[in-house]
A and B are shown apart, each in its own frame.
Chain A
Amino acid sequence: MARRTVVLWCPDWPVISAAGAAGLSPTAPIAVIWANRVVSCSAAARAEGVRRGLRRREAQGRCPDLVVLRHDPIRDARAFEPVLAAVEELAPGVEAIRPGLCAVAARGPARYFGGDRAVAARLVQQVTASTRVTSRVGVADGRFAAGLAARQAEIVPRGGSRAFLAPFPVNTLELSELTDLLRRLGLRTLGDFAGLPPRDVLARFGPDGARAHRLARGQDEVPLAARVPAPELAVQVEFDPPVDRVDTAAFAARALAEQVHAGLIRRGLACTRLAIEAQTEHGEQLTRLWRHEGVLTPAAIADRVRWQLDGWLTRAATGEAERPTAGIMLLRLVPDEVIRHSGLQLGLWGGLGDAGERAGRAMARVQGMLGGDAVLTAVLGGGRDPDEQVRLVPWGDERVPARPADQPWPGQVPAPAPATVLADPVPVEVLAADGGPVGVTGRYAVTAEPARFAAPGRPATALLAWAGPWPVDERWWDPAAARRRARFQLLGADGTAWLVALEAGRWWAEGVYD
């Protein structure tokens, strides 16, 4: 029997947190954008036809006064912390599912306040009073059903979850691969899917499918065999001196996440609920439960710990809840609910996942030696310079390009790209045959043919060939960021080839084709 659960949902949470940070009213037409797609939009924007998944340009076309804000999951989680604190005042044991959505067991509060309806009303009131955030509450058997009930602010009667879920389309399961397959099989609603015999679902769709099937049948996603984890699965780290900076603590959290995950894997387990505990120098105890719909990977654990630490350590800014009076001395991760993890097996011969994990551990070790920013990984995006197209992010951070690659970048240097890119351009000299300087006119014509080239630390060389000028006129509408350059490729008699640029009367080497 699924546990009776109360779910509190703040509609359009990314919009509310982004609007709060930008000092806007959430009633304005606002869209939160990630990777050029609308992630979430306010009610006013929705009324104008803006929808999730629209391209930014199209959303702006439908609603010309649309305010576009950037999506930031860390900010969302931080802003959600006061809401969690408000819920916790009424009902202990709140589980954050994701920013904007949290769950709490219904049994205790329902008894205390006299029924599910009373709990729902009290929760909405409490959250509005202490954080001025509108929310909806749903109560049902099982968290999945309660989450859907919260969207309609509904109380599903006891034992009615399966009937309540039946008319919902299968894509509410949010497992795109499985739901595509189900739709092609003609199973369009959760009711259709729930009608299949569980044994056949497991045989045909594997453990993930079986889990989704349990959800569709209104059973709790944690199987009855969920066990109380052995205490040795918990890991902790002590900070000396105590830390009060999010990035320092988050860095340690990443290693801790790896450790807790390794411990679980060794026992063939996976974690579905994680308790994050912290103790401050003055003895304050902070605890928060995080629930994950699937199983928590090391990266997912590290993200949640980082969000939570951010929430605690920056409470002062929000003013609603008190900030811990001292730095964090002890951080502890406790896998609170674990299941047997049958979904993932390492390859018989040690697959790529194994090598990746091994590499990841070594990178974490090097980050421990040199600092978090010393180990980088590159993300390629768009841009006009070979340097601009690369964004270096610390190992383990999210891989997001600086500029979108799928847009035209007129003036991009033609392929092949230089094998050596000088992120800090080096001043060089380009001279005409008579030894005079080479310049470029306003109409992008050279004043003299380049004939000699000298870079620091190298003997001057005659030029065999050259091409250019290739003009780049960037952001001319913005005087602070405007750049006008003319780029050339030069081929020296010594066999070296260079990418150079003339900017404001000076020549710079930007890359070497070596």
Chain B
Amino acid sequence: MTTAAPERSGAARETRREARPRGAGDPLERALLPVLPALAPLFPDGALRRGSTVAVDGSAALLIAVLAGPSLAGSWCAVLGVPTLGLVAAAGAGVAVDRLALVPAPGPAWPSVTAALLDAVDLVVVAPGARVRAGDARRLAARARQRGSVLVPYGVPAGGWEGADLRLSVAEAQWSGLGAGWGHLRARQVLLHSDGRGSAARPRRAQVWLPAAGGRVEPAAAVVPIPVRRAPAGQPPGRRPPPGELL
């Protein structure tokens, strides 16, 4: 487990002290939120550090994978401004949808809504529709640090969110299972990339099945093509329409 890894950077130690959440317990354990094992190599602590800001680039599947770790461990999460989030895919990856609050249209008041949620839930995803003012980004990051929750700006272009501790993105992706007229999308192997500030300054990479066959997120150790069953194109129609009729 990497959670006990000694902290070298003074700035990071500072952050951690501030990030210590209310309540007692082992401070190191309490200061981290678990992530899925497949994503652990991307994080300097092997887990999400409470109080940090982790930006996720435009991949919804990656966002779901980030949500799944804390959610599986019992945390409450909230997603603001993502009306298109695929909740069936989220549930398949392990997100507990009954502990997931959705605010599809937070409107122009999104900074105060985000702040209110940071006070109460462990992980808040926010996708601001418009350009983000540097002051808002700074204030929200400070709020997260103070309350010990994790702020996840989603879909903000690089440099659009000032002061993110870590930035996750999809570098390469390869789908398998789909052929020319046969099969279906079964699994996708992606190369994930993370970089950031402080202890996260060194870029990290991870090979991940996002999703693996069945919808979960799993580490991909080596490039192993998964076997594909050749299926006949289409399914037999229930009621046969008259021939020649076009859809």
Point out residues on A near B: beta carbons under 8 Å. Answer: 349-350, 352, 355-356, 358-359, 361-363, 365-366, 369-370, 374-380, 386, 389-390, 392, 395, 399, 410-411, 414-423, 439-446, 449, 465-471, 473, 476, 484-486, 489, 491, 495, 497, 502-505, 511-514
| B180, A465: Cβ atoms closer than 8 Å | yes
Contacts of B185 in A (CB 8 A): 416, 489, 491, 497, 513
Known pairs A421-B89, A511-B86. 7 more at Cβ < 8 A? A377-B100, A414-B184, A416-B215, A420-B84, A467-B179, A468-B233, A470-B235
Pairs A–B under 8 Å by Cβ, sample size 21: A369-B109, A369-B113, A375-B101, A375-B102, A378-B100, A380-B87, A390-B87, A392-B104, A414-B184, A415-B215, A419-B85, A419-B86, A423-B83, A440-B247, A442-B242, A442-B244, A446-B181, A471-B234, A471-B237, A491-B185, A495-B174
| B101, A377: Cβ atoms closer than 8 Å | yes
Contacts of A465 in B (CB 8 A): 175, 178-180, 183
- A125 and B214 alpha carbons, distance in the complex (Å): 63
| A374, B180: Cβ atoms closer than 8 Å | no
CB distance from B179 to the nearest CB of A (A): 6
Verify if B49 is at the interface (C-beta below 8 Å from A): no
Binary contact track B101-116/A, C-beta < 8 Å → 1, others 0: 1111111010011001
Verify if B131 is at the interface (C-beta below 8 Å from A): no
Point out residues on B near A: beta carbons under 8 Å. Answer: 23-25, 58-61, 63-64, 74-76, 83-92, 97-107, 109, 112-113, 116-117, 119-122, 173-175, 178-188, 211, 213-215, 233-235, 237-247
Contacts of A469 in B (CB 8 A): 233-234
Given contacts A362-B119, A484-B247, A491-B185, A386 and B98 within 8 Å (CB-CB): no
Most chain A CB inside 10 Å of its own CB: which residue of B25, B120, B213: B120
Given contacts A370-B113, A415-B92, A467 and B181 within 8 Å (CB-CB): yes
Find A486's partner among B24, B85, B173, B247 (CB 8 Å cutoff): B247
Please give me the residue from chain B that is nearest to A492 by CB atom: B175
Find B74's partner among A352, A484, A503 (CB 8 Å cutoff): A352
Contacts of B241 in A (CB 8 A): 442-443, 473, 484
- A416 and B190 alpha carbons, distance in the complex (Å): 15
Given contacts A378-B87, A395-B101, A419 and B113 within 8 Å (CB-CB): no
- A389 and B88 alpha carbons, distance in the complex (Å): 7
- A366 and B101 alpha carbons, distance in the complex (Å): 11
| B97, A379: Cβ atoms closer than 8 Å | yes
| A514, B58: Cβ atoms closer than 8 Å | yes
Given contacts A389-B88, A441-B246, A378 and B182 within 8 Å (CB-CB): no
Contacts of A503 in B (CB 8 A): 247
